[in-house]
Amino acid sequence: MGTWVIVAVVIAVIVLVGIALWAINHSRRQRLLEERRVEAAEHREKAELQALRAARREQVANDELQRAERERSAAQAHVERADELDPDLEEQRR
């Protein structure tokens, strides 16, 4: 066997090892990217659900605020009517 055959075999082995290492790294990188995509999708789904819950709670809070404002207005109307009817209050104003 000539020297050139040995050199060609060594070069071929080096090239094959390099291709194998590249393929392993490439598949590992692809797997990691896919795992990150899945994790990102899970985070987006959780964020969407949390945003929906927050919107519902906000609506409930707004409804409760409106109810409290109506009750406060009704209470103020009662205070005003009581002030109109109270004879003692009329004397204090004079």
pLDDT of residue 87: 83
pLDDT digits (tens, 9 = 90+) for 12-65: 999 999 999 999 999 999 999 999 999 999 999 999 999 999 999 999 999 999
How far apart CA 82 and CA 78 sit, in angstroms, is 6
Q: Is residue 78 part of a domain?
A: yes
Domain count, the chain: 1
Residue 92 within a domain: no
> Is 34 among the domain residues?
no
> What does the alpha-carbon distance between residue 86 and residue 88 come to, in Å, rounded to a whole number?
5
For residue 30, being part of any structural domain is answered with: no
pLDDT digits (tens, 9 = 90+) for 61-80: 999 999 999 999 999 999 99
- Report the distance separating Cα 35 and Cα 77, nearest Å: 63
Tell me the residue range of the domain where 49 lies. 43-85
